[in-house]
Chains A and B, each alone.
Chain A
Amino acid sequence: MKRVQFERSSIPFLFVAPQIIIILVFFIWPAAQAIYQSFLLEDAWGLSSQFVWFRNYKDTIFSESWLQAAGFTIVFSTLVTFLSLALALLLAVKANEVIRGASTYKTTLMWAYAIAPPVAGLMGNLMFHPLIGDLYKFLNAIGWDFNHKLDSFDAGFVVVLISVWKQVSVNFIFFLSGLQGIPKSVLEASMMDCKSSFRRFWTITFPLLAPTTFFLMVINITYAFFETFGIIDTTTRGAPGGATNTLVYKVFQDGFRGADLGGSSAQSVVLMLMVLALTIVQFRFIERKVHY
């Protein structure tokens, strides 16, 4: 067989150039910069710097505040991912069953998708405001001594609630389209094979949604790790006492508020490695159990 030979040309490189440039400028360069900075100790004005090998890493990872932030990040991401997926799945299944006014339901549920995280945070701020916040008043009225400015659990509750609310609409859209992609005849066949609709859901519908769920899980963990920055920055700012600091927010705080560029860089490198490991785990172990 004759192999197809293309003339050497620079045109293919031109086509991929925009993507390559974006990766270089917005990922490779900052990442390299962060790795370089993470080995330096710099004064607050950036006038002098000193090469300190792994001291920044040692100081970072073994500091209590970093471990606290790491712990909070894990709990926070798990809660946000699980709750927003579960709620969205429930809403999607219910919306999928609605016959009359279905598009109204769907549109209403999708609206929150268009809201940027900081805006969601600002809205949450208003609702939880100690003087004018309705939710603040409501929670106190039902007997919960609620004060997210002082209590770390309450503060965590606020950021989780807002983050979940913001993310449910995205998950809802994907779950709904996933549900609608399940062939009707397969569901009908299962109706003849299994009487309990609850059992049908867990044995037929849910496994067939697995690709969607896996995809959303990856998206949601990334969201909880990184994109909730805007929500935390507009609501608690890591307060009280760093209780709602996620790793990303701590990178920002230490670097830009605390002017500790070296420590902040070391943290972001560690974060990068964590996300890399997480992604590998997800694709290696979970994707195997997913049927496409």
Chain B
Amino acid sequence: MSKVQLTNVKKTYPNGAVAVRGVDMEIQSGEFIVFVGPSGCGKSTLLRMVAGLESITDGQIMIDDQLMNDISPADRDVAMVFQNYALYPHMTVRGNMSYGLKNRGMPKEEINQRVSDAAKMLRIGDFLDRQPNELSGGQRQRVAMGRAIVREPKVFLFDEPLSNLDAKLRVQMRIEIKRLQRRMNVTSIYVTHDQTEAMTLADRLAVINDGKIEQMGTPIDLYNDPATLFVASFIGSPQVNLLPATFDGQHLISGDVKLTGFTDLPVSTDLVLGIRPDELHLDDGGQFPMRVDIVEQHGSDNLIYGGILGAMNEGEEETEFCFKAGQDMLPDLESTLMLGFNAERAMVFSKDSGERLR
């Protein structure tokens, strides 16, 4: 049970590249925090700084009120699960799991006890005497987790641990990680670029963009109430529908499309309207005429993609919307649907700053 505190943490590489531009964060004991963001946003660097694998250019990292900046990775009492498992190929599963404990001078009986407990928990008891190259990807992933669990660290760090697994196994392991973390109640930081993983695992989610935290909060808050255009478009699958628009005092205008129900928006600045695909509904008096382009049948629901007729667009293409409908809804291609939405639930952003306008 440990809390982690980051204060104005920065990372600049010797070649001048800035990876982390000042991050403040307080992680409570037992919390499951997910860093999510596009590749190259600095989320892995930030995690590796907590682990001690990257030096800290500026700022402070504290674990349990103890400054970690100059403490070696082995002494921080953190354990990490790597993307490609990083198992020691010349050691058995048992050797892999006990290596860190042996180096800390733990008595043999206790090591054996911990290894067999962890193996039981992860259902790898039958493989303890095998070499990593005799195991499947999912089993290796379990061993990597076992190596972290036996340490009983203050903090678990996960660096995209599921991205090398196939889709089915990924879902399975995702649930298992969540269950383990609940049971062990260890503070965890998990890095991923997969927004589904982020949404489902996190107690709190930090959306990172260009070395900064865009927004931090519970997954559902970030989904319902994103603070920036970036967060709105990153969280949620299928992606939020975005429509460039301006405000004339009464209407939100996008090309020939005039939308009512908006007030208190700045006049004559470029705006972006965001509507989640599941916030749209069929409505004869609706304000969006959509020409159906593609229908994806996902089983329980259908995703209908198409251009909004007459809407203002950025380039040559029509602004494309996605409309999430039930499985019975199968419109003809090239037909036109009238879609309505609830202005209360729609989000308006400033186009230049990306800030949400309320």
B89 touches A194 (CB 8 A): no
The answer to whether the Cβ of A199 comes within 8 Å of any Cβ in the partner chain is yes
Q: Is the interface of A mostly helix, strand, loop or mixed?
A: helix
A195 touches B74 (CB 8 A): yes
Residue in A188, A189, A195 whose CB lies within 8 Å of B103:
A195
Which residues of chain B are within 8 angstroms of A196 by Cβ–Cβ distance? 103
A204 touches B82 (CB 8 A): no
A192 touches B79 (CB 8 A): yes
The answer to whether the Cβ of B340 comes within 8 Å of any Cβ in the partner chain is no
Which residues of chain A are within 8 angstroms of B89 by Cβ–Cβ distance? 186, 208, 291
Interface residues in B40-88 (C-beta closer than 8 Å to A): 51-53, 72-75, 78-80, 82-84, 86-88
Q: Which chain A residue shows the least CB distance to B81?
A: A189
Q: How many residues of A contact B (CB 8 A)?
A: 19
CB contacts between A and B, total, < 8 Å: 61
Say whether, besides A194-B100, A194-B103, A195-B103, A189 and B74 are in contact (CB < 8 Å).
no
Interface residues in A190-228 (C-beta closer than 8 Å to B): 190-196, 199, 203-204, 207-208, 210
Q: Is the interface of B mostly helix, strand, loop or mixed?
A: loop
A208-B53 Cα distance, complex, nearest whole Å: 21
Residue in A185, A193, A208, A210 whose CB lies within 8 Å of B82:
A185
A151-B53 Cα distance, complex, nearest whole Å: 54
The answer to whether the Cβ of A18 comes within 8 Å of any Cβ in the partner chain is no
Which residues of chain B are within 8 angstroms of A203 by Cβ–Cβ distance? 99
The answer to whether the Cβ of B168 comes within 8 Å of any Cβ in the partner chain is no
The answer to whether the Cβ of B90 comes within 8 Å of any Cβ in the partner chain is yes
A207-B96 Cα distance, complex, nearest whole Å: 14
Q: Which chain A residue shows the least CB distance to B74?
A: A195
A189 touches B82 (CB 8 A): yes
A250-B249 Cα distance, complex, nearest whole Å: 105
- 10 A-B pairs with CB atoms under 8 Å apart are A185-B82, A186-B87, A186-B89, A189-B80, A189-B82, A191-B73, A192-B80, A193-B74, A195-B103, A204-B88
> Using a CB–CB distance below 8 Å, which chain B residues touch chain A?
51-53, 72-75, 78-80, 82-84, 86-90, 99-100, 103, 131, 147
